[in-house]
Structure 1
Amino acid sequence: MVTPHDINEMLKKIWPDTPVLCKEVDSTQALAIWPVAKAELRPGGTISGPTIFGCADSAFWFLINGVLGRIDSTAVTQELSIRFLRPARGPQLYGRAKLERHGRSSVVATVYVWVDDEAKPCAIAQGTYQLRS
């Protein structure tokens, strides 16, 4: 079983500058926290779309590790679409990935991204990760 600590330690080694952290992970869901930097804000103070997308993709990758029960750096995003529902303003983003389907070669999930209220997502993403190992 992989833990948030395992994922965060791997992130420090491979991508030491990434801001994202894994807060929760199991075989059905994962929670990512993305502290928002000033450079990630658009004019007007809203969080940029690429930052929101990055949070969603990170939560999805954390889920992959939970599904597999181990760190897998070879799993890649096959496709990921996102719907931006409302402007996001705040010091950090949260992204919760929820497993929809786990097959032999792919995983399908939905990711809800929010700022201060999980019941009011600023974006919803859905996609597929390809498993390589």
Structure 2
Amino acid sequence: MPKQTALTPVMTADEINDYLNVVYPQLNDQYSDYVAIDVKPGECTVRLNANERHLRPGDTVSGPCLFTLADIGGYACVLSHIGREALAVTTNLNINFMRKATAGPVDGHCRILKLGKTLMVFDIDIVADGATVAHATGTYAIPPRKQIA
């Protein structure tokens, strides 16, 4: 699928991480589990630094942790392309789990499929140890811009 290269990021990965620490501090608490690591036109990469806190029996990264990574990927993508808008919210997220992910870095490669005035549609390929462990698609609602009188 072609990349959406006509899109221009307005925030860097570091700026997204700083912003998330302010508007969503409970995401990581005192840890750095979920982080944005790269932003490009129409896409971003997020990482789950998975450790024993994220594992279910069988030394497998839990589904809820991978789902959170997918959701944070969408949030990072929308923020990186529309700016600081804390109230952009998930309206849909569908995930397919394909294989086991173990502790260590789990990367989510997120791509904007469509960015409109009120919705952003994205997909995310979640990769661990060089293999896709899950794939998700989702939609974020973008609140209307406030009018300045």
TM-score, normalisation: structure 2: 0.82
User: Percent of pairs identical after alignment?
Assistant: 26
List gaps (5 residues or longer) in structure 2. Answer: 1-9, 145-149
Shift of 1:36: 1.2
Residues 110 and 125, structure 2, Cα contact 8 Å, conserved in 1? yes
Moved more, 7-16 or 31-40: 7-16
In terms of fraction of residues, the more strand-rich structure is 2
- Structure 1 residue 63 and structure 2 residue 77: aligned? yes
Q: Deviations over 1:1-51 (max 9, x none)?
A: 211111111122233451211111234001101111312101110000000
Moved more, 29-38 or 17-26: 17-26
List gaps (5 residues or longer) in structure 1. Answer: none
* Structure-2 residue corresponding to 1:73: 86
Give the paired residue count.
Answer: 130
- Structure 1 residue 104 and structure 2 residue 117: aligned? yes
* Structure-2 residue corresponding to 1:130: 141
* Structure-1 residue corresponding to 2:95: 82
Distance in 1 between the 2:50 and 2:25 partners?
16
User: 1:77 is paired with a residue of what secondary structure?
Assistant: strand
Higher gyration radius (CA): 2
TM-score, normalisation: structure 1: 0.91
* Structure-2 residue corresponding to 1:2: 11
Distance in 2 between the 1:100 and 1:22 partners?
19
